[in-house]
Amino acid sequence: MDITGITIHTRFTLIKKLTDGLVGSIYLAHFVEKKEEPVMVKIFRDDITSKRTGDILRYRRALSIVAKLNHPNLIRILDYGEIFELQYIVFENFRGTSLSEILKKPDCSIGRIIDIIIQICRALECIHQNGVIQKDLNPENVMIDTNDISDGDTVKLADSGVAHIIDFSELMAKTKDIPDLINYFSPEQSGLIKRHVDERSDMYSLGVIFYRLLTGKLPFAADESFLFTRQNAEERPELPGRLNPSVPPILDRIVLKLLETEPENRYQSAKGLLHDIDRYKNGDREFKLGLNDESIKLSYRTELISRNGELMRLKNLFDRAREGMGCVCLISGEAGTGKTRLIEELHDYIYSQKAVIIQGKCF
Ligand SMILES: Nc1ncnc2c1ncn2[C@@H]1O[C@H](COP(=O)(O)OP(=O)(O)OP(=O)(O)O)[C@@H](O)[C@H]1O
Ligand SMILES: [Mg+2]
């Protein structure tokens, strides 16, 4: 559908359709009162926007926050609402291309890559501090203006908060090829581990972007059955320095920390990463990572403590069951001694072996 020419809520007119993207179309437009200042309007595809009240409320809450933010690394949201029952967002007109264009011919120097990562990280720091998660951080929503080479690139993050309204399972079902954005999903987002998605999920996605900029490759690539096998919870990516010899070991460590499977083991905040990158920029090449990191949210979940033996036994039983020697295993213990937690840990292993878990409760 092309709705060029219409004026939305008597406020702005759509002048020209620019692209048909994965989740919606982008139009060049202008406000009725300020014709000289072009803006961008994104109109979402109806069939992939969520109709669930919870999603719509979360989306509106996130947008109401992001629309008030004025940060040099965030594309400004000027307006949002509904037209013909379709969600739309009006953005500032930012000249430049998306990072995915840059990735098509990856020839960036380490210095330039660091500069791009710092700017994305500052944008994440700003939205996270305001309680918004990007959730779909990938090269398509990182915009770069390379025009002013003397000043370096200007990087701006687009679509913050928008992911709440995208029905990703519908999107997958309706898209022929697996969209690239799946490759940037954190393990908790893809369902590989059973954890809530929070700010640390964005840190993981940033790690994938960082890895790709440094090496030209993805740390883990999706395959057609990505829902179960996108990545192995215990598999580690190849060190970036092995693929690109100009990457120093300290950057290998930083990138791998971002790509940790368990959110607890990653950088907990954009601030923590910015601090370490700053040390790197100042010439420090050997230091303990995450010293200036801090958790944005209080979490009472720690790593699994002294249950390695039990976990190993459960994994062995599972391996034997796969070979046709199934059995029943009962786990007993006083209330609160960690039965449920032990089984949760086993989930990660089972998913990584491309198997399925069926759960039920007896009352
Ligand atoms: N080995 C462990 N290492 C780290 N944290 C643990 C461990 N065992 C339990 N915990 C934590 O202790 C709390 C209670 O554990 P859990 O809910 O698994 O106990 P439970 O035996 O299933 O209790 P209930 O009998 O009430 O169902 C949880 O917060 C869990 O994350
Ligand atoms: Mg329990």
Q: What is the mean pLDDT of residues 97-117?
A: 89
More confident residue, 357 or 139: 139
Contacts of 327-331 with C-beta under 8 Å, sequence gap 24+, read: none
Cβ atoms of 80 and 88 closer than 8 Å = yes
> What are the backbone dihedrals phi and psi of residue 291, each rounded to the nearest 5 degrees, phi first?
-65, -30
Q: At 211, which amino acid appears?
A: Y
Centre of ligand 1 from the C-alpha of residue 341, in Å:
5
Q: At 7, which amino acid appears?
A: T
Q: What is the mean pLDDT of residues 196-222?
A: 91
Mutate to test the pocket of ligand 1, among 310, 341, 344 (most ligand atoms within 8 A of CB): 341
Quick: pLDDT tens for 82-93: 988 899 999 999
Which of 110, 122, 111, 116 lies closest to 97 in space, CA to CA?
Answer: 116
Cβ atoms of 43 and 24 closer than 8 Å = yes
- Residue 157's beta-bridge partner residues? 74, 142
284 in catalytic set: no
* Cβ 341 under 6 angstroms from ligand 1: yes
Q: Which two tokens mark 219?
A: 């740390």
pLDDT(297) > 60: yes
Q: What is the mean pLDDT of residues 123-144?
A: 95
CA distances from 169 to 178, 190, 227 (A): 11, 11, 10
pLDDT(114) > 50: yes
Annotate 269-292 with three-state secondary structure: CHHHHHHHHHHHHCCCCCCCCCCC
pLDDT(127) > 60: yes
Q: What is the mean pLDDT of residues 102-116?
A: 88
Q: Which range, of 24-33, 72-81, 219-228, 282-291, averages the lowest pLDDT?
A: 219-228
User: Token match 């976990």: residue?
Assistant: 311
pLDDT(240) > 90: yes
Centre of ligand 1 from the C-alpha of residue 301, in Å:
9
> What are the backbone dihedrals phi and psi of residue 14, each rounded to the nearest 5 degrees, phi first?
-85, 120
Q: What is the mean pLDDT of residues 100-117?
A: 88
User: E strand or H helix at 172, and its extent?
Assistant: helix 168-174
CA distances from 315 to 147, 325, 348 (A): 55, 13, 10
Catalytic choice (47, 79, 136, 278)? 136
As a whole-number percent, the residues of the chain with pLDDT over 70 amount to 93
* Cβ 361 under 6 angstroms from ligand 1: no
Q: What is the mean pLDDT of residues 341-361?
A: 83
Q: What is the mean pLDDT of residues 343-362?
A: 82
d(CA 137, CA 297): 20
Residues of the chain with CATH 1.10.510.10: 97-281
d(CA 332, CA 20): 56
pLDDT of residue 173: 80
* Cβ 305 under 6 angstroms from ligand 1: yes
Q: At 145, which amino acid appears?
A: D
Binned at pLDDT 50, 70 and 90, residue 275 comes out as very high
Residues of the chain with CATH 3.30.200.20: 7-92
Centre of ligand 1 from the C-alpha of residue 318, in Å:
21
- Kind of pairing between the strands at 97-98 and 7-8: unpaired
Q: In what order do the strands lie in the sheet with 154-157?
A: 97-98, 142-145, 154-157
pLDDT of residue 108: 83
CA distances from 252 to 37, 236, 282 (A): 44, 12, 17
Cβ atoms of 74 and 123 closer than 8 Å = yes
d(CA 57, CA 73): 25
Q: Which CATH class is domain 97-281?
A: mainly alpha
pLDDT of residue 8: 85
Q: Give the CA angle between residues 96, 127, 269 to the nearest 5°.
A: 110
More confident residue, 196 or 223: 196
d(CA 23, CA 243): 33
Quick: pLDDT tens for 317-348: 999 999 999 999 999 999 889 998 999 888 87
Centre of ligand 1 from the C-alpha of residue 307, in Å:
11
Task: State the fold for domain 7-92.
Answer: Phosphorylase Kinase; domain 1 (3.30.200)
* Cβ 337 under 6 angstroms from ligand 1: yes
* Cβ 302 under 6 angstroms from ligand 1: yes
Q: Which range, of 178-182, 287-291, 335-339, averages the lowest pLDDT?
A: 178-182
pTM for the complete prediction?
0.79
More confident residue, 347 or 78: 78
Mutate to test the pocket of ligand 1, among 310, 314, 332, 340 (most ligand atoms within 8 A of CB): 340
Q: In what order do the strands lie in the sheet with 77-83?
A: 7-8, 12-20, 24-31, 38-44, 86-92, 77-83
